[in-house]
Each structure stands twice: as structure tokens, then as C-alpha cells.
Amino acid sequence: MRFLHYLFNQLNYIGTKPDHYKKLNILVNLINAI
């Protein structure tokens, strides 16, 4: 779970663009599904 948290932070850092934000949103949904 620590790895997912790290990955989430990385995407959040890059996620200043709408396209990356969509990918971040998909990742959040995936984590919530676990």
C-alpha cells in the first residue's frame, strides 16, 4: 500500500495537466476498488 501511496503522490505531482488528472482519477478509482 505504501507503493500505491508513492505512486499517487508522483501522479499528483505531475497531474497539473487535465490529461494527467484523468489518469489520476482512474488510479484513485482503482485504489478504492481494492
**pLDDT over 90, % of the chain:** 0
User: Which H/E stretch holds residue 5?
Assistant: helix 2-14
Region 5-11: mean pLDDT is 77
- Residues 8-33: b if buried by 16+ CB within 10 A, e if exposed: eeebeeebeeeeeeeebeebeeeeee
Region 1-19: mean pLDDT is 71
Task: Give me the number of domains the chain comprises.
Answer: 1
Residue 7: closest CA among 34, 29, 27:
27
Provide the terminal-to-terminal Cα distance of the chain, rounded to the nearest Å: 10
Task: Kindly report the pTM of this predicted structure.
Answer: 0.40
| Domain coverage including residue 11 | 2-33
The per-residue pLDDT for 17 is 61
The answer to whether 31 touches 8, Cβ cutoff 8 Å, is yes
Query: Does the pLDDT of residue 8 top 70, yes or no?
Result: yes
The per-residue pLDDT for 18 is 65
Under the banding of pLDDT at 50, 70 and 90, the label for residue 27 is confident
